[in-house]
Amino acid sequence: MNYFKIREIIEDYDSIVIYRHIRPDYDAYGSQLGLKQLLLDNYPEKRVYTYGLEKIDNPEFLEDMDNPSLDIIRSSLTIVLDTSTFSRTDDKSYAEGLKSLKIDHHLDSEECTDYRYVVESASSTSELIAQLAIVNDWYISSKSASYLYAGMNFDTRGFTIASVNATTFKILAVLVEKGIDLVQINRYINDLAKEKFAIKHYLATKAIFKEDVGYILLTREEKLRLGLSTHEAKDFVYVMENIKGINKYAFFSYEEDSDSFSASLRSHRPSIVEIARQYGGGGHRLACGIPELNLKQVEEVIDLLVKARD
Ligand SMILES: [Mn+2]
């Protein structure tokens, strides 16, 4: 599979429905809305829809999903973006399409579509979509460039993580030339509501440090008191992002549904995804998660993080 082959597949269908993952972030939305706009601009005769039932925080920058009917899905090519597994697709109706195509950058991305293009080393799916447009010489409007930039920026923590490389910046140069408003988009991505700003600073006071590991454990009572959903709570893992001497960090959040803790794990250097996999989780080498842990397992994960070395 390559970018020319992806274009050929897309050109074979008059109707296309684009999906992404549950608990969507800006890479999921950015790649999805960016690809939709690219296809509308370059193939005006095609019908292009977005699908997804779950929502994102501060969506004012983003468009609502089209969520077409099952009849339309069944007569379309479906494209699933930024989604590692079948169970994480929002939603599974993509499998009803005439054919399905996945474009993704997660490790061990499942073979759950007819066609797949997975680049594990890519820093975001939005980067892959931008490259698809550049390689095929598609017209890139400032609207599609804005969505793709948002996705690239978000997944790379503002272009600061290890998977960012020269290609990322070459693509970025192309997008910036389209006249996107970097300052405004950065603010959409990063600005916190005032209530969340206060929560962020409260959580920072709860961080516990063990050698070069930092972690926060959000109990059932605190989560209720702070009025946080699991999705919102997990974003606060980044409270510990910039602490001298802290190389790995984790956020454990109580889950009502399973009466257990979910974990978000991050690392600046050594790979930690093996730890996540050991407990039924996964993701990227340096950013991964585990859905369900009991308290004893939480302690084990912390110990494994402490032991993780290059
Ligand atoms: Mn992504």
Peptide bond between residue 91 and the one before it cis (omega within 30 degrees of 0): yes
Per-residue confidence (pLDDT) for residue 233, from 0 to 100: 87
296 Cα: distance to centroid of ligand 1 (angstroms)? 30
3-class SS of residue 116: strand
The mean pLDDT of 43-63, rounded to a whole number, is 89
Question: Is a pLDDT exceeding 90 seen at residue 231?
Answer: no
DSSP state of 30: H
Per-residue confidence (pLDDT) for residue 101, from 0 to 100: 98
42 Cα: distance to centroid of ligand 1 (angstroms)? 24
205 Cα: distance to centroid of ligand 1 (angstroms)? 29
Task: State the CB neighbour count (10 A cutoff) for residue 54.
Answer: 14
pLDDT digits over 58-87, tens only? 677 888 999 999 999 999 999 999 999 999
- 291 HSE (CA, 13 A, CB side): 8
Q: What's 194-307's CATH class? A: alpha beta
The mean pLDDT of 11-37, rounded to a whole number, is 96
Task: Tell me the percentage of the chain whose pLDDT exceeds 70.
Answer: 99
105 Cα: distance to centroid of ligand 1 (angstroms)? 7
Q: β-strands 77-81, 15-21: how paired?
A: parallel
48 Cα: distance to centroid of ligand 1 (angstroms)? 21
Per-residue confidence (pLDDT) for residue 123, from 0 to 100: 96
Q: What is the pTM of this model?
A: 0.91
21 Cα: distance to centroid of ligand 1 (angstroms)? 9
Report the amino acid identity of residue 216: I
221 Cα: distance to centroid of ligand 1 (angstroms)? 31
Q: Per-domain residue ranges for the chain? A: 3-189, 194-307
Q: What share of the chain is helix, strand, coil (3-state, %, to 5)?
A: 45, 20, 35
Does residue 214 contact residue 208 with C-beta atoms inside 8 Å? yes
Give the C-alpha distances (Å, rounded to integers) separating 126 from 89, 156, 233, 271: 17, 11, 24, 23
Per-residue confidence (pLDDT) for residue 58, from 0 to 100: 66
Report the amino acid identity of residue 297: Q
H helix or E strand, kind and range, residue 33? helix 26-42
125 Cα: distance to centroid of ligand 1 (angstroms)? 5
The answer for residues whose C-beta is within 8 angstroms of residue 175's C-beta and 6 or more apart is 130, 140, 145, 148, 149, 152
297 Cα: distance to centroid of ligand 1 (angstroms)? 27
225 Cα: distance to centroid of ligand 1 (angstroms)? 31
Residue 310 pLDDT grade (very low, low, confident, very high; cuts 50, 70, 90): confident
pLDDT digits over 106-129, tens only? 988 899 999 999 999 999 999 999
Question: Is a pLDDT exceeding 70 seen at residue 149?
Answer: yes
Report the CATH superfamily, name and number, of domain 3-189: inorganic pyrophosphatase (n-terminal core) (3.90.1640.10)
Question: Is a pLDDT exceeding 70 seen at residue 155?
Answer: yes
Question: Is a pLDDT exceeding 70 seen at residue 261?
Answer: yes
Query: Which bin fits 270, alpha (ψ -120 to 50), beta or left (φ > 0)?
Result: beta
130 Cα: distance to centroid of ligand 1 (angstroms)? 13
284 Cα: distance to centroid of ligand 1 (angstroms)? 9
